[in-house]
Amino acid sequence: MSPPVFRFAPSPNGLLHLGHARSALLNFDLAHARGGRFLLRIEDIDASRCRPEYEQAIYEDLGWLGLVWEQPVRRQSEHLALYRDAIARLTQQGLLYPAFESRADIARLVSEKERAGSWPRDPDGAPLYPGHAGQLSGAERERWRRSGAPYALRLDMAAAQARVGDLTWEELGMGPDGETGLVPARPEQWGDVILARKDTPTSYHLSVVIDDALQGVSHVVRGQDLFHATAVHRLLQALLGLPQPLYRHHPLVLDEAGHKLSKSTRATALRDLRAAGMTPSEVRRQVSLAVA
Ligand code: GLU
């Protein structure tokens, strides 16, 4: 049997904090405890927010923590052609449609819906897509495309679910409400998610499932904030014929007020803790979860 493969997959859009340290250390420790491999992947598809100095800081901070990862590191920005191919396959299956509304259009549509009653929100609290771009005629779509307007490629969630049926995943950790074991995937909670944009041929959801499959990742170990996103990941795996890894979602490190840490709060940035004299073993003690 091949050894298990673990990965830590940060985005270089800010400095790593204690929450990242928990994820990275847990992946690293699990890989070591099981004679497995530990990969580092740089999720840098959002060119407007990712910066080379943050990528450099990731290497330095993880190195300081004592982690060692395989080379070469996979950087998603170097593999856009691969994601474009997957988008082409989903388009051929008739599962994607271009939606041309701006953010302001969407906000207006949502407030209209909310004024008329309630409007559902996704597990992250964002309103579901309220538009009707999925029902535009071919001619109307063509007219929009020719206008050069920016657009998002959205997944027709109902059609996608109809194609693959009910899905589950094996949860070795726990969701925010204690979900564990065989968890039913409910991607419809996210509505018609965006999988690509006119200028970016991919999205977090698409790249993550393609890369996990391509890198042979057997165990996805990450924070509970991504627990519900797993439903979309399972759907994409099923649509694209990719293998499904095992999942382990771990509790987040919270600040004193009980809030999730953010890359913009310097108080828990590994860089600043190090500058303030904290040692790697103190970080480890502060964020440790038992490796089982
Ligand atoms: N790149 C994602 C993040 O920084 C994590 C991806 C994952 O672990 O699936 O939040």
pLDDT the model gives residue 261: 85
Summarize pLDDT for 142-171 with one digit per residue, the tens.
Answer: 998 899 999 999 999 999 999 999 999 999
Instruction: Share the mean pLDDT of the chain.
Output: 95
CATH of 82-215+231-243, one of 3.40.50.620, 3.90.800.10, 3.40.50.150, 3.40.50.80: 3.90.800.10
| Residue 81 token pair | 């052609």
- Of 196, 167, 183, 231, the residue nearest 95 (C-alpha): 196
- Domain assignments of the chain as residue spans, ordered by start: 1-78+253-292, 82-215+231-243
CATH of 1-78+253-292, one of 3.40.710.10, 3.40.50.620, 3.40.50.1820, 3.40.50.300: 3.40.50.620
Q: How far is the CA of 51 from the centre of ligand 1 (A)?
A: 16
pLDDT the model gives residue 50: 96
- Of 54, 57, 82, 58, the residue nearest 69 (C-alpha): 58
Ligand 1 atom nearest to CA at 229:
9
Summarize pLDDT for 97-149 with one digit per residue, the tens.
Answer: 999 999 999 999 999 999 999 999 999 999 999 999 999 998 998 998 899 99
Element housing 272 (H / E):
helix 270-275
Is the shortest distance between the CB of 29 and ligand 1 below 6 Å? no
CA distances from 190 to 79, 195, 209, 240 (A): 26, 12, 17, 19
Alpha-carbon distance of 136 to 140, in angstroms, equals 6
DSSP code of 187?
A: G
Q: Which of 40, 222, 262 to mutate to test the pocket of ligand 1 (most atoms within 8 A of CB)?
A: 222
Alpha-carbon distance of 41 to 39, in angstroms, equals 6
| Residue 83 token pair | 């994601």
| Residue 15 token pair | 């400095």
Residue whose CA lies nearest to ligand 1 atom number 2: 10
Could you tell me the sign of the dihedral formed by the alpha carbons of 22, 27, 29, 30, in that order?
Answer: positive
Residue 2 has pLDDT above 80, yes or no: yes
Ligand 1 atom nearest to CA at 10:
4
Interhelix angle 204-214/80-92, nearest 10 degrees? 110
| Residue 257 pLDDT level (bands cut at 50, 70, 90) | confident
pLDDT the model gives residue 292: 58
For residues 100 and 149, the answer to whether their CB atoms sit within 8 Å is: yes
